Structure 1
Amino acid sequence: MPYVLKHTGTDQIFTCTLTNHYGLAYYGVKFWMELEEAEAQYAAFLQTHSTSEADQWQILALEEGEMKLCNVKLKNDPYMQVFWSHTRKPDVRKLVN
């Protein structure tokens, strides 16, 4: 089960440029497959991404299909953000300049 980071104030899921198992860069949802791994690494991960309000992010468990749907809806576009509400459906929005 993937574990992701969700902002407690906005419901935004943390997204960034990642590398897949083929070594190719893509824009998507940052996730960990184990809760223990997420708990051990998320604070340092947020720090390396210069994330303000690091204390506002919490670990959230998603089904694998839900996480993959978020990535599909992001369309590999760094100008998109994904939000996760209580309905368990991704809401994707384009960043406004």
Structure 2
Amino acid sequence: MPFVCRHRESGVIVAAWQRNVYDLPYYGVLWWETGEDAERESEARLSECGYDDISSWETVEVTESRVKLMNVKLNNNDARTVVLERDGSIQVSFERP
């Protein structure tokens, strides 16, 4: 199952501009296939996305369908952020942590 970075306090999931398999740009959730990959690469990706306090983030495991749902909620709009609440619900916000 995929792993994503979640802000410990706000629940925000890290998203960024990326390129799909067709080399088209899209704004979506950053995810890794394994926890080891996430732990190894997340700090650099968080810095690239402009997040300074790396210790405020945790790596969490989610299903692939949840990643897809988060990307749908982002709607390819970098003004939006996705929040994964403690109860598992997914919300959209326009604030960054």
TM-score relative to the length of structure 2: 0.90
2: CA distance, partners of 1:90 / 1:59: 16
Q: Which residue matches 2:35? A: 35
Displacement of 1:47 in angstroms is 2.2
1: CA distance, partners of 2:60 / 2:21: 23
Q: Which residue matches 1:74? A: 74
Percent identical: 31
2: CA distance, partners of 1:12 / 1:72: 15
1: CA distance, partners of 2:45 / 2:95: 22
Q: Which residue matches 2:45? A: 45
Q: How many residues align?
A: 96
Q: Which residue matches 1:4? A: 4
Deviation string, structure 1 residues 2-35 (Cα, Å, up to 9, x no partner) = 1000001111111111111111110110000111
Q: Which residue matches 1:92? A: 92
Secondary structure at the aligned position of 2:69 is classed as helix
Structure 1 stretches of 5 or more lacking a match?
A: none
Structure 2 stretches of 5 or more lacking a match?
A: none
RMSD: 1.5
Q: Give every structure 1 segment of 4 or more consecutive aligned residues whose post-TM-superposition deviation is greater than 4 Å.
A: none
Secondary structure at the aligned position of 1:69 is classed as helix
Displacement of 1:95 in angstroms is 4.4
2: CA distance, partners of 1:32 / 1:11: 18
